[in-house]
Amino acid sequence: MTMRTRTALAIAFALFLGAARGMAAEDRTIPLAVEEAGFAPAEVEAPTGARVRLEVTNRTAAAIEFESFELNRERVIQPGQTAAVYVSGLDPGRYEFFDDFHHQRRGALLVR
């Protein structure tokens, strides 16, 4: 095998690894609505280690505050607005979230 062939194979392999990493890093979008009765759905699932984009839509007449101590996230969302909340690299488990302005509205992200 010539030096040129080895170099070409090394470059092709590096490009393949980079493309594989890029595919693995894609966001998994999970729609989540906040309604007067609570989060809909109340529980959502994501695979272990995935990069997750929670797309939170406020369908109430007042501002809400998406909050999770376990996810270390906090976001105020105005009525009719949608906000993205990103989390990644989560271990298996249950990660609870709630509306800090209306504590009865609760939900959870289940990572498996």
pLDDT at position 80 is 98
Number of domains the chain is built from = 1
∠ CA 73-29-41, rounded to 5°: 75
Q: What is the extent of the structural domain holding 96?
A: 28-111
Q: Partners of 64 in the beta sheet?
A: 77
Distances in Å between the Cα of 52 and the Cα atoms of 16, 24, 31, 34, 59 are: 24, 12, 11, 18, 21
pLDDT at position 11 is 79
Q: Is residue 16, in this structure, part of any structural domain at all?
A: no
Q: What are phi and psi of 65, to 5 degrees?
A: -125, 105
pLDDT digits 0-9 by tens, 54-108: 999 999 999 999 999 999 999 999 999 999 999 999 999 999 999 999 999 999 9
CATH number of residue 107's parent domain: 2.60.40.420
Distances in Å between the Cα of 62 and the Cα atoms of 29, 57, 65, 78, 86 are: 24, 12, 10, 7, 23
pLDDT digits 0-9 by tens, 28-52: 999 999 999 999 999 999 999 999 9
Percent of the chain at pLDDT > 90 equals 76
